[in-house]
Amino acid sequence: MQKNKKLLLLPGDGIGKEVMNEVRRVVDWFAKRRAVAFDIEEDLVGGASYEAHGTPVTDAVVEKALNADAVLFGAVGGPQWETLPFADRPERGLLRLRKELDLFANLRPAVVFDAMVESSTLKPEIVRGLDIMIIRELTGGIYFGEPRGIEELPDGTRRGINTEVYTTPEIERVGRVAFVLAGKRKDGHVHSVEKANVMESGVLWREEIQALHDSDFQDIRLEHMYADNAAMQLVRNPHQFDVIITGNLFGDILSDIAAMLTGSLGMLPSASLGAKDPVTGMRRALYEPVHGSAPDIAGQGKANPIAMLLSYAMMLRYSFDLPEDADLIEKAVSEVLAGGLRTLDVMQKGMARVSTGVMGEAIIRELDKLSA
Q: What is the mean pLDDT of each run of 10 residues along the chain (372 residues)?
A: 81 97 97 93 98 98 96 97 94 94 96 90 93 96 94 98 97 97 94 98 98 98 98 97 98 92 85 90 93 95 96 96 96 96 92 97 97 87
Residues 6+ away with beta carbon under 8 Å from 77 = 13, 14, 46, 47, 89, 90, 91, 292, 293, 295
The amino acid that residue 169 corresponds to is P
H helices of 68-199, where?
A: 90-100, 124-127, 168-183
Phi/psi of residue 135, each to 5°?
-110, 115
What confidence score (pLDDT) does residue 51 get?
Answer: 98
Alpha carbons 151 and 144: distance in angstroms, whole number: 18
Q: What is the CA 297 to chain-centroid distance, rounded? A: 22
Q: Which fold has domain 1-104+274-372?
A: Isopropylmalate Dehydrogenase (3.40.718)
Closest by CA to 285, choosing from 14, 1, 5, is 5
Active site (catalytic) residues = 143, 195, 228, 252, 256
Q: Which helix H or strand E contains 7, and what residues bound it?
A: strand 6-12
What pLDDT is recorded for position 118?
87
What is the C-alpha separation between 205 and 327, in angstroms, rounded? 34
**Confidence (pLDDT) at 7:** 97
What was the pLDDT predicted at 3?
56
Contact assessment for residue 159 and residue 153, using Cβ atoms and an 8 Å cutoff: yes
Of residues 60, 141, 132, the one with CA closest to residue 96: 60
CA pseudo-torsion sign 7, 11, 16, 19:
positive
> pTM for the full model?
0.92
DSSP states of 215-249: HH-TTSEEEEEEHHHHHHHHHH-GGG-SEEEE-HH
Query: What CA–CA distances, in Å, run from 280 to 178, 320, 328, 353?
Result: 21, 12, 26, 45
Q: 27, 55, 34, 62: which is closest to 284 by C-alpha?
A: 62
Give pLDDT, residue 88: 96
- Per DSSP, the three-state class of 348 is coil
User: Is 290:265 a contact under the CB 8 Å cutoff?
Assistant: yes
pLDDT at 1: 46
Q: Which CATH superfamily is domain 131-261 in?
A: Isopropylmalate Dehydrogenase (3.40.718.10)
Residue-level pLDDT at 279 = 84
352's CB contacts (< 8 A; 6+ apart) are 340, 341, 342
Task: Report in angstroms the alpha-carbon separations of 228 from 171, 194, 222, 248, 336.
Answer: 20, 9, 18, 15, 37
CB under 8 A, 24+ apart: contacts of 273-276: 273/103, 273/104, 273/105, 273/106, 273/107, 273/177, 273/318, 274/101, 274/102, 274/103, 274/104, 274/105, 275/102, 275/104, 275/173
Element spanning 253, H or E? helix 248-261
CATH 3.40.718.10 location in the chain: 1-104+274-372, 131-261
Based on C-alpha coordinates, what's the Rg of the chain? 21
